[in-house]
Structure 1
Amino acid sequence: MECFYQWYKDHNAVVTDPNVILSKSDLADPSSGYGLYALPDITDEGKSTKDRENDEGILLRIPKNAAFDINTIDAIIHDADMYTTPAQSERTLGKVKEAFKHLMENPKTEEFLSEATILAFYFLLFHFIKEDYEIPALFRQYLDNVLVVTEINNPITRPHEYIPLYRQYPTLLGDELVILYFTSYLENELGIDIEKSEKTIRQIYAAITSRTLEIPHEISEESNDFTTSTTLVPILDFINHSSEMPWCAFDVDRKSADIILKYKNLEPFRNNNNKQELFIQYSDIIEYTSFNFTYGFVPVVPDTSVCYFNLSLQRSLLDKRTRLYYKWFNINPVIQFYKEGIHGKWKINLTHEKFIELLLPFMKDSHIDEQGSWLYNPNAYNTFAEYHSKLDPDENIEDLRTLYRSNIRADEHSAGDIMHFPQLAWTLRYSEGERNVLKKRVSKSEAIDYIKELPEDDLEDTFEAFKKFLTEYANYRDQVIVKFVESIISVEDKDQKAGRQSFLDLCQVERAVLGNIQDIQVKMILEETTKSLDNVPLPPPINVSLDEEEEDIAPEFSEGDSNTNGDEPYDEDNFTDFLDEEYSMLSLFFNR
């Protein structure tokens, strides 16, 4: 690694402070690898780095064209000076163009296309053709000395651990599909041996996704607006993360477009006679799951900082009523927790705009009988068929019933979170006056408006029902984690054991979250004035699958038939008092 560090500096006009060196990191995590350090003194001027004021505290300056984004890679590939002969340049360029053309012609490419996947494509291609084609030294040095050898312990390199427990996070499923796609593409394009090459593909892809930075670029000299590009920045990417000691920060020199590393805080370096490792923050906000999935470790946070955990509920542990409700209303079953510092307790982030949606299936209304607020219709396909037949009387009604029954059941049974139909399966029963109970099939926004108007006692009962559901889920989920962790630990494999800690650390954090659910006091939640929290995104709903898996539907929500009450004919009046109004919702669906 030291050889690459020196080679890269010498061949790319990289400027480093004389006191900045590369050395093995002192961090406890073995996968932290190398880091950049500042020496206490020894400069030409006899002053230590911490006391110098030259170049505004800049420690590292990397020319824009020595970093790798989709534009600089393309420029380097086309630069004939990067090859030993013009013939070699033309030969390699021809191969890259051909491979890229075939990539873009594949209709599946659009599903995975991003700046990061294009960077991965280039370096995977370079790796697998480097024995037969000349690759510019800048790429080959970085590929062989950094990307292929850097240890990454995240879901991409360790799917056998992460996928069984964390497949409810779409990022993991998406990365698995990218790996499958790259593997299939490279097999067809280059004839690689999948069995021998998959590990290398995972290694390079994981190294790239964990090392990229979003580098800002100004839109114009007169404006402070900027765009960002996903970029690999050699040497800068040796710097490790610390939320506790982020001494430095990277930026872009607006005059030269160079990427620079600067001191952010000089105090730790004053009166320090030992070399000091330099750190940046990979992210200002720590959300444990996304951070761990990207970088392959669980960061330590200062005791004064707020950190987050997006608890995406394991879909197979949801009771079927709740699962179907969340599907039909397109509710993402993710609960965001937060805590203040290492010793804080995990609490639900009540300020997140999506939290109230999770309460809807548990809504309690004291004016409603024991049937409850929600009525599920397992034969909602009849509603779609009836309306369709009104639009097109020539269609056979039984054929339409068969069609909608099949499509709706496919969505209900799928492993995804998305229903591709308007919400007409769930009826809200609500009171109007003291005795009059009305039925209406409502949208999510209408249901939210209703729950917001609940009396305080009913809202408390709703929270209690949600807490009961969440407590039962936490107990089951904790058992699942413990059982799975015990199963992988029991397998004696030194290679696997060495990189397993990142996964085990994440499991430990989740178990702490699950444990704090038991301590939730509903009355305290309702009275709590939550502090201002960061806007931390949730993982998206599941809309991809690694296979054609299906979920079982419990007997009370099974296939049903065209009759809902024995031999009585299907009657819309059993489910709504507002049929004409709801048909207008269907008109929007059919007129898309």
Structure 2
Amino acid sequence: MSSVVDWFTKNANVKVNEALSVENSFFEGIPSGYGLFVDLSSINYDAKSETVELLRIPRLATFSLDTLLEMIKDETQYSSKGNMERLNAKVRAVFSRFLELDGLKNLLSETTILVFYFTLLALLKDEYELPKTLRFYLENVLLQVKVDNGPMFYEQAKELYGQYSIFVALKDLMDLLEDFLQNNVSGNQSVVPVLRQVYAAISSRSLEIPDEVAESSEDFVVNTTLVPVLDFANHSNELKNAHFDIDRQTQDVLLLLEMDRIPANVTKFEIFISYSPVEDLISFIYYYGFVPTSADKCQFMSISLDREYLRDQEPMPDVNLRLFYKWLKINPVVQLIKYQNRWYIYDSNEQFAYFLLPFMHSPDNESTSCWTYDPNCYRIFWYFQQHSTKKKENYTSINDYKDMIASLENDRSDLIDLPQLGWSMSFQDDDLNTHRGRFPKEQALALAPFNNARTFTNAIDLFAKFFLSYIEWRLNKLRNSEPHLTSAPLKQLVQFEKSVLLQLLSEPQLHYWTDQRTDCENYDCILRPLQNNAHQDADHSVSSLESLPLENYHPEEFTDFIQEELKLYANLV
């Protein structure tokens, strides 16, 4: 890959310190592709310097959404103005049609659009002249590097990791891009190999580069950007000895060697940067195809629970976890944190507190739950609608409410996009009087008596029993599936997850991070809840309206706050 460095030096004004080279990397004795290396004997530097500049990459030699479009319209990148105009017109026309696609909105990101553009250009490169810098990077880097990450094994991951939103969103996006490009660009040429290769390369090589909001502003945004040469640098938070930054005067991207992090007693060594200060290990396998090692740094793993398993679980009588988490819009994820080779339940953020809500007992009876599910909650929606300002011709019928709620409760989405009227919570006020009401998760958490040691201990014990049972079930599923896997990176992911779960089972009890009393950067789960993009609203036609048999219905049955709830929800149902 030294030819890539030479080309960008000669043709894109990239400045490379003569001490820097691209060579094969062997991290802990294992081949890990290419890496950046520095030879200290070739550096002239002041011993008092905190950093030494190893790379300087001009803004227009990088590939972000802004620079890519600028490059496509740059006449100096082509042999003729006509060729520039021809490609520009084609790209604009195809992108315009792309933005009209149904289902695209929830899948759009900077990475998505970069993948679209580079895949489109890869499919057009034999018929159109591409900008010279872009063509070289596409043909010699993106289409050549081999990365065993998510885009390479997402199809096989469906059965085992279909509960992880990153894999679900990837499959939805790949299907959408494949269908669109096949029908609008490719013709008889298969899109899949190119799309998969481009997506894998971009996912593993893009960096979050800061960009000031305005000139001389202290406020910055970050742009997903491909940075030639710098993108050969490997990641390690433990061995990090360099970082990238922006020259605010020129907007050049810089790679800076940190002189106080130079390894001792060596002249030549590999450069390591940090892709992310927080290591979420499932995400690292998904984006980069490897699990980073770290003995002294905190690492995280998000366990997204199998939704079918949740549907069969009742930690307390009549508390179905799948329905509970859907109605209260709680992401069913348990986060783990690893520190000094031990895994802990990460209980330091709201995510865990929300997850713990259905494990609370009633304030009046420890053998029953404080939560009650209303299987006929469609009636309260109808009741509230009758007290709304909605015009009668716009009413939703009781049958439509019933069908809609049944559909929402059983679809693949983790969130029911309606007011939380499915579950009622019992709680005690300051005078120890018991009340019931329907609350969103934020209000429920505020009312939850987790400051009561007995209530909290009972909830933790119920959670531990549930989670350990889930681990055993999950391990059995992984073991049964493992012999049938053909994807090497998917096997790596399965083996890694098994090792984590087995370690949790081997301990006499679960360990919780708040008991460790060790400082670590707070981390919020990056896994988004699953969404059902295919959901359609019920038919609100007037012809289907029916009368509600109010003589058999008591709206206050599940709440002591019916008037307050009417004010809140009457115009939202």
TM range (shorter): 0.7 to 0.9
Q: Is 1:511 matched up with 2:504?
A: no
Q: Which residue of 2 aligns with 1:248?
A: 242
Q: Secondary structure at the match of 2:23?
A: strand
Contact 1:417-1:541 within 8 A present in 2 as well: no
Deviation at 1:529, TM superposition (A): 6.4
Aligned to 1:268: 262
Which residue of the partner structure matches residue 306 of structure 2? Answer: 314
Q: Gapped runs of 5+ residues in structure 2? A: 314-319, 536-547
Q: Which residue of 1 aligns with 2:24?
A: 24
Give the distance between the partners of 1:55 and 1:394, measured in 2 at CA. 69
**Amino acid paired to 1:244:** E
| Distance across 2 between alignment mates of 1:308 and 1:336 | 7
Q: What per-residue deviation string (whole Å, max 9, x for no partner) do you get for residues 305-364 of structure 1?
A: 1111112211111135011111111111112221213x2x21122211221111111112
TM-score with structure 1 setting the length: 0.85
Residue 539 of structure 2 corresponds to residue 539 of structure 1 = no
Give the distance between the partners of 1:91 and 1:221, measured in 2 at CA.
34
Q: CA deviation at 1:512?
A: 4.5
| SS of aligned partner of 2:369 | coil
Distance 1:56 1:450 in 2: 52
Judged with a 3 Å threshold, the aligned counterparts in structure 2 of structure 1 residues 397 and 438 are, in CA distance, closer, same or farther, namely farther
**Structure 1 residue ranges (4+ consecutive) displaced by more than 6 angstroms after TM superposition:** 50-55, 396-399, 432-436
| Contact 1:173–1:545, Cα closer than 8 Å, also in 2 | no
Structure 2 CA distance for aligned equivalents of residues 355 and 393 of structure 1: 38
Q: Which residue of 1 aligns with 2:327?
A: 328
Paired-residue identity, %: 29
Determine whether 1:578 maps to 2:561: yes
Equivalent AA in structure 1 for residue 437 of structure 2: K
Matching of residue 373 in structure 1 with residue 370 in structure 2: yes
CA contact (8 A) 1:470 1:517 kept: no
Cα displacement (A) at 1:31: 7.1
Alpha carbon RMSD of aligned pairs, Å? 3.2
Q: How many aligned residue pairs are there?
A: 555
Superposed CA deviations along residues 430-463 of structure 1, whole A, max 9, x for unmatched, are 4579997543333323322332366322321122
Residue 33 of structure 2: aligned partner: 33
Counterpart Cα distance in 1 of 2:395 and 2:205: 57
**Alpha-carbon separation, structure 2, partners of 1:250 and 1:393:** 56
Q: Note if contact 1:346-1:513 (Cα within 8 Å) is conserved in structure 2.
A: yes
Given that residues 378 and 402 in structure 2 are in contact (C-alpha distance below 8 angstroms), is that contact kept between their aligned partners in structure 1?
Answer: yes
How many Å apart are 1:27 and its aligned residue? 2.5
For residue 284 of structure 1, the aligned residue among 277, 301, 305 is 277
Write the distance in 2 (CA, Å) between the matches of 1:581 and 1:216: 47
For the residue of structure 1 that corresponds to 2:276, the secondary structure is coil
- The letter of the residue matching 2:15 is V
- Counterpart code for 1:520: L
Aligned with residue 209 of structure 1, among 166, 186, 203: 203
Equivalent-residue separation in structure 2 for 1:56 and 1:454 (angstroms):
49
> How many Å apart are 1:369 and its aligned residue?
7.1
How much has 1:540 moved relative to structure 2? 4.3
Letter in 2 for 1:468: K
Which residue identity is paired with 1:389? Q
Name the SS of the counterpart of 1:13 in structure 2: coil
What letter matches 1:15 in structure 2? K
Residues 193/398 of structure 1: CA separation in 2 closer, same or farther (3 Å cut): same
Aligned partner of 1:131 among 116, 123, 126: 126
Which of 232, 236, 248 is the equivalent residue of 2:230?
A: 236
TM-score with structure 2 setting the length: 0.88
Kept after mapping to 1: 8 A contact 2:363/2:426: no
The farther-off stretch of 79-88 and 331-340 is 79-88
Contact kept, 8 Å, 1:416 with 1:545, in 2: the verdict is: yes
- Partners of 1:398 and 1:64 in 2: how far apart? 56
**Against the structure 1 CA distance between its residues 513 and 116, is the aligned structure 2 distance closer, same or farther, given a 3 Å change threshold?**
farther
Structure 1 residue identity aligned to 2:298: V
- Deviation per CA, 1:556-578: give whole Å up to 9, x if none: xxxxxx99xxxx93433432333
Equivalent residue, structure 2, for 1:297: 290
CA contact (8 A) 1:312 1:335 kept: yes
Point out where structure 1 has 5 or more consecutive residues left out of the alignment: 549-561
SS in 1 for 2:284: helix
Per mean C-alpha deviation after superposition, the further-off stretch among 359-368 and 220-229 is: 220-229
Report which stretch shifted further, 472-481 or 502-511: 502-511
Q: Cα distance, 1:117 vs. partner? A: 1.8
Structure 1 range deviating more: 473-482 or 158-167? 158-167
Letter in 1 for 2:347: L
User: Separation in 2 of the partners of 1:530 and 1:85?
Assistant: 65
- Counting only pairs closer than 5 Å after superposition, residues 59-458 of structure 1 correspond to structure 2 as 59-193=54-188, 196-220=190-214, 222-266=216-260, 268-269=262-263, 271-273=265-267, 275-301=268-294, 303-318=295-310, 319-320=312-313, 321-341=320-340, 343=341, 345-365=342-362, 367-368=364-365, 370-391=367-388, 400-430=397-427, 438-452=435-449, 455-458=452-455
Question: Which residue identity lines up with residue 531 of structure 2 in the other structure?
Answer: V
After superposition, give the CA deviation of every residue in 1:161-217 in whole Å (9 maximum; x if it has no partner). Answer: 4332222221221122221121111112114347x3212201101211221111112
